[in-house]
Amino acid sequence: MKILVVDDFSTMRRIIKNLLRDLGFTNTQEADDGTTGLPMLQSGNFDFLITDWNMPGMTGLDLLKAVRSDTRLAKLPVLMVTAESKREQIIEAAQAGVNGYVVKPFTASTLEEKIGKIFERVEA
C-alpha cells in the first residue's frame, strides 16, 4: 500500500505519516501542494491519496479534480484531511468525488476509521 500525503505544513505531514505508520502503513511519500503532488501521483503507482485542502499553488480540491479527470488516476481513493469545515465546502468536495472527509483537529481513531471505510467500499 503506497500512500501520498499532501499538506503544505511539514508538521501535519509528519503527524499523518506517524499515524499511518501506527496503522501499519509504512510506504508513504510527501508533497507540499497539488503542484508537486500531481506529477508524483501520475508517475508513482500510488494506492491512496491523503490531501489537505488549503494550500498555496494548487489546492487539495483542484488536485482532487485533476485526479478524477485523469483516466489513469480517476479511481484513486482520496481522503481529504482539512480545517475547512463549512457545509458548502464539504458538499463541494463530495461533488468533486472525494472518498472521505476528515476535519482538523482529528484523532488517530477517526483517521483509522475513515481509511478503513474507504478500503471497505473500494474492495466491495
By CB under 8 A, name the binding residues for another protein. Answer: 9-11, 14-15, 18, 22, 53-54, 59, 83-88, 90-91, 94, 100-104, 106, 110
**Cβ closest to another protein, residue 74 vs residue 91:** 91
**Cβ closest to another protein, residue 39 vs residue 74:** 74
68: Cβ contacts below 8 Å, ≥ 6 apart: 74, 96, 97
**What Cα–Cα distance (Å) separates residue 115 from each residue in 36, 88, 90, 100, 109?**
23, 23, 17, 8, 10
CB contact at 8 A, 8 and 82: no
User: From the CB of 45, what's the least distance to another protein, in Å?
Assistant: 26
CB contact at 8 A, 60 and 92: no
User: From the CB of 42, what's the least distance to another protein, in Å?
Assistant: 26
Nine-digit cell string for 88: 458548502
**Cβ closest to another protein, residue 73 vs residue 104:** 104
User: From the CB of 69, what's the least distance to another protein, in Å?
Assistant: 20
User: From the CB of 102, what's the least distance to another protein, in Å?
Assistant: 7
